[in-house]
Chains A and B, each alone.
Chain A
Amino acid sequence: MTVLSVQQLGVSYGGVHALSDVSLEVGEGQLVGLIGPNGAGKTTFVDAVTGLVAARGRVELDGKDLTGRAPHVRARRGLARTFQSSELFEDLTVAENLQVTADPSTWWTTLGETFGRRPSPNPAVPEALAALGLEDLTDASAHELSQGRRKLVGVARALAARPRIICLDEPAAGLDTTESAELGRRLRAVAGAGTALLLIDHDMSLVMGICDHVVVLEFGKVIASGTPAQVRTDPAVIAAYLGASAVQPATASGTSAGGSAEALTSTPETP
């Protein structure tokens, strides 16, 4: 069943087309990768889907139209996201960070709390922390965490809302290889529990290793879409990552994009 359906999404800054007519779908429990060289429009895509950037086109969640809705409305409907630079709420503890997304906030609950009614503890918070192995950080202050931990807390914060889908913007950046593999295992488990995931990352062994489906963006356009195996051998993708001259596999040697390109063309170990 399709959870997120994006049709013909377009974003322009002045005369620059940051995104043009990008469409994709993510199904229940599915893990879709969104990759592309720097500046391809991946983060703009997530910003547009979550409503932080004005965009043309149509965004649907569970078949319901979200086009034109405010970001917080989309989030409450079950469209969660993480940020490239974590963007944690620095003044709150880790648990409080999660509570912000987990707790329903209506006029009624706010009024109740004002007069001292204690809301029952929300099980979504410890569940989300456990899903990412962060139980020991519950009472830590967000601004005391290391960069890698901040990323994980960001994912946990999105998960605590019990969303239908999470758009993950480079969750593995700043993690080392083992941590990245560990994150991949945990994301697979999250997807297995039914939450759809859209994963943006430069760590190709992570993306190729865990995703069911991969979409490749270049200059704001989809240039390839398919299973990791199909995308890996797609000439357009190899050209995008290595430059047009490298389409002959024999000449593929390390260039500026070498690191990720090697991972793209080599067979990844599945975790």
Chain B
Amino acid sequence: MEPILLFAVLGLGQGALIAGIALGVVVTYRGSGIINLSTGAVAMASAYAFWALTTGFFGLTLPVGPALAGALAVALAVGVLTEVAVFKPLRTVSPLAKLAASLGVLLTLQATVLLVFGVQPQQAPSILPTGTVTVLGITTPSDRFVLAGLVVVLALVLGALYRWSRFGLATRAASENEQAALLAGLSPNSVSMANTLLAALVAGLLGVLAAPIVQVDSMTLPLQVVPALAAALFAGFTSLWIACTAGILIGVLQSVVYYLSTQSWFPSDNGNAMPGLQQLLVFALMVVALYVRGAGLPRRGELVEQRLPAVPLPERLLRPALLSAAVAAAALVVLPFDFRQALTNSMIGMVIVLSYVVITGYVGQISVMQLALSGTAGFVLSHLSVGWGIPFPFSALGAMVLATLLGVAAGVSALRVRGVSLAVVTLAAALAMEQALFNNTSFGGTAGVSVPPPRLFGIDLGPKADFRGLDGNEPSPMFGFLVLAVTVALGLYVAHLRRTGLGRRMLAVRSNERAAAAAGVDVRAVKIAAFTISSFIASAAGTLYGYNFGSVSAARFTALAALGLIGFAYIGGITMVSGAVIAGLMSTEALLPHALDKWFGIKGTWALLFGGVSLIVTLIANPDGIAGAAHRRRTAKRARRAAALTGPPADNASAVGSPEIHLGRTPADAKEVTP
């Protein structure tokens, strides 16, 4: 019994950090209706700043007091920047776009920290008393109690502030009905700014104080937002008191679970403790929270114009597909080996983004899990082909079917969860799968498991095939051709889907579930179909990943990588196949980052920074993405040409009806839609 108690007390430190971030999440949500994924990253930024200021990283070593002030100033600066440059311009967009914007902030902060401080985790000095106390017969460090007490005090102070101050009244009014608050003379911008700053301050302070306990790390600290989101879900994104308690309890539970997993009676992973139990716990808690509190978030009366990016009907399919396929095929033979590899990576990236085009672009649901499904398919492929000796097309198909079934099962259980809640819970699922499944050596493992090359009728289609490109190096263009064929087929399918009845029903569900049901659309069936198609595409990408490197490793399918891919998908244009092509070219180790690295010496971290910033810029300036903007330009140009051909508009006024209705769409367009 005593060790459990000890681990429970030790978990208070982690719990205090989670509770602090949860408080930040709730405060931001009350102030601006944004689920701020970057709250954990704020804690990371100020923890790094404190570490740097006290250890002389910048050349001068400050005492604890000024260093703490400096770290909090960093948190506040991040808060001001986020509010002014991101949240304020996006005040009236849909909740999903706001979530994506906060993802942009997370990626930007993480890339900045990586660029300034490097990847090495740091050990921060402790401010809190380092002594021990003896409670109920066990001796524990006293700082855990101090930290937990501090968070509780913070929650009480914040609660009092909201309850009794004029600022609190304004916040509550604005979160009830932003429009009415505006008419009553309250500025949503200043309410939001004040709350964002408060949230940054709380998260930053906890980041500094808890850093000595949890390590200053640019990979784990930003993701502490996931357990914090679980706590915030329990709190219904409103109650500070519940958020704080739930956060501390989650930390304690995680610590106890860790202790239990080290016991001899507990199932182990080849002699080591099972990995990822903490993340599984958080995911399970989120499911419980959604069940207890209902799937919906409290609705804020906001000034929202719920415009999602447009989904234009693809005009011609075959010609551009064949043209780009021919160019890519030629490039696979002609290009030097490193660019050949980058092109293959790009195409696999395109396939995985295609799965987001279906689930997010067409149906409007963000599922962070899709990359984890790719990973599952990759690992299953390895088991099927190495362990069971199943030959190529069947091993890949089997892996895809299994991973798709997993995706469909997740989709079916998430049918009632939609929008932002779905994004949050699938983020937790992705993290749990990364830690518990992929890092488990009996299934995956960080070292990677091998995948034999694909062979069909005795012909090697893998990257080590005999047919080499012009420069005679690996990878063989043969594998590139295989990837190209899959990419073109899936791209054509997704574009074609937009023209079919199922595609129309998906868009009907995306714009209005109630109206779709009343129009005879089986909303559940459409969503399950979308999850199936999207998971199948993601699984295909996973098997290609496996063949590409001859092995599958956990590092490729992390939750952070998934968030990055969603960012790239938004930048490219998440509703269009051409957007997926652009996103694929930008993804990790693809053509664009490779070219930047090779020609300009710009490393991947800069690409991450660039990705984070351009995600924010895209959401503000050009929500349809690069592909959407290109499509608008094309149609506008064609409209001008059509107008020039048919003469003054007076001639066809009778046929066109009211002119405003035909903006951006001409009779010429209509003809090409159905060739």
User: Which A residues form the contact surface with B (CB < 8 A)?
Assistant: 50-52, 70-72, 75-76, 80-81, 83, 87-93, 96-97, 99-101, 103, 105, 109-110, 113-114, 116, 119, 136-141, 143-146, 149, 157-158, 161
Q: Shortest Cβ distance from B452 into chain A, in angstroms?
A: 32
Q: Main SS of chain B's interface residues?
A: helix
Contact yes or no, A140 B662, CB < 8 A: yes
Partner of A105, one of B310, B505, B664, B665: B505
Q: Please, could you name 10 A-B residue pairs with CB atoms under 8 Å apart, sorted by A?
A: A71-B514, A72-B516, A72-B520, A90-B307, A91-B507, A91-B510, A92-B504, A105-B522, A140-B661, A144-B663
Partner of A87, one of B310, B311, B515, B669: B515
Question: Inside 8 A of B522's CB, which chain A residues have their CB?
Answer: 70, 72, 105
CA distance A139 to B670 in the complex (A): 7
A100-B661 contact in complex given A72-B523, A109-B501, C-beta closer than 8 Å? no
CA distance A139 to B664 in the complex (A): 11
Q: Which residue of A lies closest to B529 (CB)?
A: A110
CA distance A111 to B311 in the complex (A): 22
CA distance A93 to B673 in the complex (A): 12
Q: Shortest Cβ distance from A87 into chain B, in angstroms?
A: 4
A91-B520 contact in complex given A52-B514, A100-B504, A137-B661, C-beta closer than 8 Å? no
CA distance A123 to B520 in the complex (A): 18
Q: Shortest Cβ distance from B526 into chain A, in angstroms?
A: 9
0/1 interface trace, chain B 498-536, chain A, CB 8 Å (1 if under): 001110110110111011111111110000010000000
Q: For the complex, is B496 an interface residue (Cβ under 8 Å from A)?
A: yes
Question: Inside 8 A of B116's CB, which chain A residues have their CB?
Answer: none
CA distance A149 to B519 in the complex (A): 18
CA distance A113 to B533 in the complex (A): 14
Q: For the complex, is B308 an interface residue (Cβ under 8 Å from A)?
A: yes
Contact yes or no, B505 A100, CB < 8 A: yes
CA distance A139 to B656 in the complex (A): 10
Question: Inside 8 A of B504's CB, which chain A residues have their CB?
Answer: 89, 92, 96, 99-100, 103
Question: Inside 8 A of B311's CB, which chain A residues have their CB?
Answer: 91
Q: Other CB < 8 Å A-B pairs besides A89-B512, A91-B308, A114-B502, 9 of them?
A: A52-B514, A72-B520, A76-B520, A87-B515, A100-B508, A100-B520, A109-B501, A136-B655, A139-B673
Contact yes or no, A144 B508, CB < 8 A: no
0/1 interface trace, chain B 325-339, chain A, CB 8 Å (1 if under): 000000000000000
Contact yes or no, B496 A101, CB < 8 A: no
Partner of A92, one of B508, B520, B673: B508
Shortest beta-carbon contacts, A-B, top 5: A75-B520, A136-B657, A87-B515, A71-B517, A113-B500
User: Which B residues form the contact surface with A (CB < 8 A)?
Assistant: 307-308, 310-311, 313, 493, 496-497, 500-502, 504-505, 507-508, 510-512, 514-523, 529, 655-658, 660-665, 667, 669-670, 673
Q: Which residue of B lies closest to A114 (CB)?
A: B500
Q: Shortest Cβ distance from A180 into chain B, in angstroms?
A: 18
Question: Inside 8 A of B519's CB, which chain A residues have their CB?
Answer: 72, 75, 80, 100-101, 157-158, 161
Question: Inside 8 A of B655's CB, which chain A residues have their CB?
Answer: 136
Q: Shortest Cβ distance from B535 into chain A, in angstroms?
A: 16
Question: Inside 8 A of A149's CB, which chain B residues have their CB?
Answer: 661
A110-B502 contact in complex given A137-B657, A139-B665, C-beta closer than 8 Å? yes
Contact yes or no, B657 A52, CB < 8 A: no
Partner of B501, one of A103, A137, A141: A103
Q: Which residue of B lies closest to A81 (CB)?
A: B518
Q: Which residue of B lies closest to A50 (CB)?
A: B518
CA distance A112 to B505 in the complex (A): 16
CA distance A81 to B515 in the complex (A): 9
Contact yes or no, A90 B665, CB < 8 A: no
Question: Inside 8 A of B507's CB, which chain A residues have their CB?
Answer: 89, 91-92, 96
Contact yes or no, A89 B508, CB < 8 A: yes
Question: Inside 8 A of B500's CB, which chain A residues have their CB?
Answer: 110, 113-114
Question: Inside 8 A of A137's CB, which chain B residues have their CB?
Answer: 657, 661
Q: Shortest Cβ distance from A135 into chain B, in angstroms?
A: 9
CA distance A122 to B414 in the complex (A): 34
Q: Which residue of A lies closest to B671 (CB)?
A: A139
CA distance A47 to B658 in the complex (A): 34
Q: Kindly name the residue among B510, B521, B665 whose own CB sees the greatest number of chain A CB atoms within 10 A.
A: B521
